[in-house]
């Protein structure tokens, strides 16, 4: 059983004053050692760190937050936390802000505008220091934190605001490359499983641009929604395979839908890529594990989160107060067995 350390003075929790007394220094010196923001002599630092270990001192974050009026917390608002892309993105964000002693918590909207706006209200009530949002809304309510001086970083294209920094992948070029790849291997009827209406706009545009560049006409019956989920991709693939003549290649707006499309192809007795070729988007871990391994486009999830964290950190710490910044990350094609 873990032993709880108590103050030498018998008054409960070990305080910074207790550490200072044990180390024979001032509380200010202890604060400098713990924060790392001021130089302290090596011998003094060692005494303070020894006292911290021996007494089992833990900083009182609640008291610090009341004093500084900062929560040291960042809210991350995403549409689907079960999607591995957002898990990896959140990891990149957490790594970027770790040095600033910030924690993160995730709000999952399920792609619903009402839940997103409710979460935005909630994070402001909690007094977060910054917000990273993969928004499904273009409403001004999504940027409400700015009214209280709380910086916001947008992921993707949905929010256009002069004070909101933006991190986005080059979706259009990645989607165009994926579609051109399918056409280059002889496909004549390339369909696309898309996200819900008004989402994934650049991916849809990249698909259409590749068709136009190759002299193919966009057939609207070859574009169906799959709502970004595996089941959605499976349902959409069944729908596409009922078309006569059926598509001989399908570009999927994300890997989860592509894996669902694989499920449907197997159920229909279709061989991949011989009967129908498939390309996804995101390059989640599962893309290399499915059979056949999925040709896909890299969506730099970790790098997106890390870039968002760096932009947010610079504003929260006052290092940058200028106009909107936009970071665009490349999306290369990864060729595997499904195409």
Under 8 Å between Cβ of 256 and 241: no
pLDDT at 2: 35
pLDDT-derived band of residue 219, with 50, 70 and 90 as boundaries?
very high
* Cα gap 82→326, rounded to integer Å: 27
Helix (H) or strand (E) run with residue 253 in it? none
Q: Lowest-pLDDT range, 30-39, 75-84, 148-157, 240-249?
A: 30-39
Give the up-direction half-sphere exposure of residue 241: CA atoms within 13 A in the CB hemisphere.
21
Full-model pTM: 0.70
Average pLDDT score over the chain: 87
Residue 12 pLDDT more than 70? Answer: no
* Cα gap 315→292, rounded to integer Å: 45
Query: Tokens in use for 82?
Result: 């079960």
Higher pLDDT, 228 or 14: 228
pLDDT at 68: 43
Residue 317 pLDDT more than 60? Answer: yes
pLDDT at 213: 96
Query: Tokens in use for 304?
Result: 């997106």
What pLDDT, in 10s, does the model give residues 44-89?
989 998 988 888 877 655 455 444 455 688 989 888 888 888 989 9
Rg (CA), the chain: 25
**For range 107-135, the mean pLDDT:** 84
Domains of the chain, first to last = 16-59 (1.10.260.40), 71-170+302-331 (3.40.50.2300), 171-297 (3.40.50.2300)
309 Cα distance to chain centroid? 10
What pLDDT, in 10s, does the model give residues 130-177?
999 887 666 667 787 877 788 999 998 777 788 899 999 999 999 999
pLDDT-derived band of residue 230, with 50, 70 and 90 as boundaries?
very high
**For range 291-310, the mean pLDDT:** 96
Query: Tokens in use for 186?
Result: 């002889």
């Amino acid at each position: 059983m873990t032993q709880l350390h108590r103050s030498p003075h018998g008054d409960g929790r070990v305080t910074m004053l207790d550490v200072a007394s044990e180390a024979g220094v001032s509380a200010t010196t202890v604060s400098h050692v713990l924060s790392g923001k001021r130089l302290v002599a090596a011998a003094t630092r060692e005494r303070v760190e020894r006292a911290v270990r021996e007494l089992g001192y833990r900083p009182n974050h609640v008291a610090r937050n009341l004093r500084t009026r900062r929560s040291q917390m960042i809210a991350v608002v995403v549409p689907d936390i079960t999607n591995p892309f957002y898990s990896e993105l959140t990891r990149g964000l957490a790594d970027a802000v770790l040095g600033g002693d910030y924690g993160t918590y995730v709000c999952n909207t399920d792609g619903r505008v009402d839940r997103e706006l409710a979460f935005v209200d909630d994070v402001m009530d909690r007094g977060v220091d910054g917000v990273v949002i993969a928004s499904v809304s273009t409403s001004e309510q999504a940027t409400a934190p700015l009214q209280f001086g709380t910086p916001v970083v947008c992921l993707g294209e949905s929010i256009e605001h002069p004070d909101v920094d933006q991190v986005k992948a080059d979706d259009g070029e990645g989607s165009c490359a994926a579609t051109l790849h399918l056409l280059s291997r002889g496909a004549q009827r390339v369909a696309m499983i898309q996200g819900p209406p008004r989402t994934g706009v650049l991916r849809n545009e990249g698909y259409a641009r590749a068709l136009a560049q190759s002299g193919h006409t966009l057939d609207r019956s070859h574009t169906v929604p799959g709502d970004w989920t595996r089941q959605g991709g499976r349902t959409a693939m069944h729908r596409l395979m009922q078309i006569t003549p059926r598509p001989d290649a399908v570009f999927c707006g994300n890997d989860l839908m592509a894996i669902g499309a694989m499920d449907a192809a197997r159920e229909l007795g279709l061989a991949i890529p011989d009967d129908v070729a498939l390309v996804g988007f995101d390059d989640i871990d599962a893309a290399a594990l499915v059979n056949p391994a999925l040709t896909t486009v890299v969506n730099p999830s970790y790098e997106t989160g890390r870039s968002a964290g760096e932009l947010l950190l610079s504003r929260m710490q006052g290092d940058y107060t200028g106009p909107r910044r936009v970071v665009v990350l490349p999306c290369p094609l990864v060729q595997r067995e499904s195409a």
